[in-house]
Amino acid sequence: MLRPPATFATARLGARLPTADDAPAVFASYANDPEVTRYLAWRAYERVEPLAACLREAAANWEQRDAHLPRTWLLCLKGTATPIGSIGVTLEGNGHAMFGYVLAKKFWGRGMAAEVLTYLVDWALAQPSLYRAYAYCDVENLTSARVMEKAGMLREGILRRWHVAPTLGPEPRDCIVCAKVR
């Protein structure tokens, strides 16, 4: 069974497994910020308790043998344990690895999301069973599309009515899809 690394580090970031105890720090850093969560599949959290349940589930996924469950890492500045974002991968079972990421607003524009995405895309495409690493973002989230491109992914097109961003409404929205293949 293919398993992503439980921890890893890039030049500026460390990635580690989440725990429910991280909820207050994740809440304070980014999960309660409507601007950060604007284009995501979840709304900004208003309370810590539901976030703790989400992090508990994310941690439990690492314990499961099902390779297709999403695996999430918390991102911390190297040498610290305080989360400033997260990144996740879902190994879809068809040779595809799908990524998603979020970063606290105060760290936007520094290339950190591209740095960590590049690391994981390279890891994925080094696995013999994976040949496609991809991610998508709302068509209005051009900054996220740029992150994917900086990570070596090519813009492939638009996925029509693909993703619901509840902050923006109940209807599926168009998304930009980018991928790197081997």
pLDDT tens digits, residue range 20-56? 999 999 999 999 999 999 999 999 999 999 999 999 9
Query: Using an 8 Å Cβ cutoff, are 78 and 112 in contact?
Result: no
pLDDT tens digits, residue range 57-77? 999 999 998 888 999 999 999
pLDDT at 16 over 80: yes
Global pTM?
0.96
Query: Mind listing the domains of the chain with CATH numbers?
Result: 8-181 (3.40.630.30)
Query: Using an 8 Å Cβ cutoff, are 97 and 90 in contact?
Result: yes
